[in-house]
């Protein structure tokens, strides 16, 4: 399994534990004990996934995540000893793709890693016209083959999950997708009522799109039902 994973954690015992489990699964692993080292590695090496601790001295994981998202869409699994919903939302809003609370089950972490890697390379659900890989809705254009998005011709940088959600909605204009449907189609996992990942990713996606559209809304909320895009 030729995937390079970066572990960023100032606790050497935790970093080593994660490393052992990932090496056993055939991954290539690099470790950074602080945010500065992590950013250096990201600029010098090809990394397919980052496991990022929130609480670190110097520059914390939130700041590192924000910095990485300026130039990379690499999946990020955030680790934190904080377990409140607001801490999770804060982590996801800064650009993380998933969030786990310490202490964690290493086997579950490996499963989350594999799931994130699958999502980053998955094929989005087929559109009603699968032969067409380009979708245009107003100023928005999506290219399924290149995973690229433009608004008024300006590129919009999206993570693989954000692109997947947008392509799903844009492929079925007018149809309302519930949070449960979106989660199970994009995350390829079972949805739990307490899971707010869809809401957070929709919010982040809207922010990126509306920034290029002068505040115009593209993704609409149908209260109590879900989300849709109108053609």
Q: What is the pLDDT of residues 39-78, one digit of tens each?
A: 999 999 999 999 999 999 889 999 999 999 988 889 999 9
Q: What is the mean pLDDT of residues 147-169?
A: 89
- What's the confidence (pLDDT) of residue 195? 61
The verdict on 96 and 196 lying in the same domain is: no
The verdict on 106 and 161 lying in the same domain is: no
Q: What is the domain count for the chain?
A: 2
- The DSSP letter of residue 192 is -
The verdict on 93 and 194 lying in the same domain is: no
Q: What is the mean pLDDT of residues 153-176?
A: 90
Flag whether the pTM goes above 0.85: no
- What's the confidence (pLDDT) of residue 121? 64
- What's the confidence (pLDDT) of residue 32? 96
Bridge-partner residues for 178, per DSSP? Answer: none
The verdict on 26 and 110 lying in the same domain is: yes
Is residue 175's pLDDT more than 50? yes
Query: Is 10 domain-assigned?
Result: yes
Q: What is the mean pLDDT of residues 191-216?
A: 82
Sheet holding 4-8, edge to edge: 28-32, 4-8, 49-53, 76-80, 98-101
The verdict on 15 and 101 lying in the same domain is: yes
Return the percentage of the chain with pLDDT > 70, whole number. 91
- What's the confidence (pLDDT) of residue 124? 46
* Percent of residues in the chain assigned helix, strand, coil, to nearest 5: 40, 20, 40
Mean pLDDT (the chain) is 86
Residue 223 belongs to a domain with what CATH number? 1.10.10.10
- What's the confidence (pLDDT) of residue 184? 84
Residue 79 belongs to a domain with what CATH number? 3.40.50.2300
Is residue 163's pLDDT more than 80? yes
Instruction: Specify the range with the lowest mean pLDDT, choosing from 4-13, 65-74, 76-85, 97-106.
Output: 76-85
Buried b (16+ CB within 10 A) or exposed e, 181-217: bbbeebbeeebeeebebbebbbebbbebbeebbeeee
Structural domain including 220 reads 134-229
Reported residue count of the chain is 231
Strands, E assignment, the chain: 4-8, 28-32, 49-53, 76-80, 98-101, 134-137, 140-143, 148-151, 154-155, 219-222, 226-229
The verdict on 146 and 108 lying in the same domain is: no
Query: Is 126 domain-assigned?
Result: no
């Amino acid at each position: 399994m030729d995937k390079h994973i970066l572990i960023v954690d100032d606790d050497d015992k935790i970093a080593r534990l994660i490393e052992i489990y990932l090496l056993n699964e055939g991954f290539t692993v690099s470790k950074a004990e602080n945010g500065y080292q992590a950013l250096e590695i990201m600029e010098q090496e090809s990394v397919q996934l980052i496991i990022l601790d929130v609480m670190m001295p110097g520059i914390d994981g939130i700041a590192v995540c924000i910095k990485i998202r300026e130039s990379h869409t690499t999946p990020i699994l955030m680790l934190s000893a904080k377990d409140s919903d607001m801490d999770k939302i804060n982590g996801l809003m800064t650009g993380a793709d998933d969030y786990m609370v310490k202490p964690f089950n290493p086997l579950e972490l490996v499963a989350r890693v594999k799931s994130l890697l699958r999502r980053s390379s998955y094929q989005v659900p087929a559109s009603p016209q699968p032969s067409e890989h380009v979708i245009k809705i107003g100023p928005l254009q999506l290219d399924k083959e290149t995973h690229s998005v433009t608004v008024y011709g300006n590129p919009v940088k999206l993570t693989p999950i954000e692109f997947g959600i947008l392509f799903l909605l844009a492929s079925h204009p007018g149809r309302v997708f519930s949070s449960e449907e979106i989660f199970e189609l994009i995350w390829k996992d079972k949805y739990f009522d307490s899971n707010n990942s869809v809401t957070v990713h929709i919010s982040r996606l809207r922010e990126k799109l509306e920034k290029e559209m002068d505040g115009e809304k593209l993704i609409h909320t149908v209260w109590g039902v879900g989300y849709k895009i109108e053609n």
